[in-house]
Amino acid sequence: MEHYMNALRSYADFSGRNRRKAFWMFMLINIIFSLLTSVIDGITNTMFVSSIYSLALLIPQLSAGARRLHDTGRSGWWQLLWLVPVIGWIVLIVFLAQDSHEGENDFGPNPKELAVEPTTV
């Protein structure tokens, strides 16, 4: 839940990098909430709750995806591959599942390296 809340707090921040775990945990919780809103809509025979939830999470999803792509050394504009049926989806999922580039890249320092505290001798 921590990763979900962090993504919501930085909903309009399209700069920087996002670790793979943080992105996929956000997506997992988002999918669970989407399913719950769909169940609520099925019970009430409307599409109101799921539509509002989807619109509210559009910008946070785009920003989390852009930061994740930044972590792999790609621009956030690669998310436009979602518009290409099947092939684009597969390519984008592969990009989002790749490991971080080591060290700094054009988008900032590696968050994986920042999370590891140096040991003192």
Mean pLDDT score of the chain: 88
Exposed, middle or buried: residue 8 (CB in 10 Å: 0-12, 13-18, 19+)? Answer: middle
Q: Enumerate the domain spans of the chain.
A: 2-115
Question: Is 92 in contact with 64 (CB distance < 8 Å)?
Answer: no
Q: Which pLDDT tens digit goes with each residue over 99-108?
A: 887 878 888 8
Mean pLDDT confidence for 69-87: 92
pLDDT band at 52, cuts 50/70/90?
A: very high
Q: 10-43: per-residue pLDDT in tens?
A: 878 888 888 899 999 999 999 999 999 999 999 9
Provide the pLDDT for residue 107: 85
Given this model, what pLDDT does residue 3 score?
Answer: 80
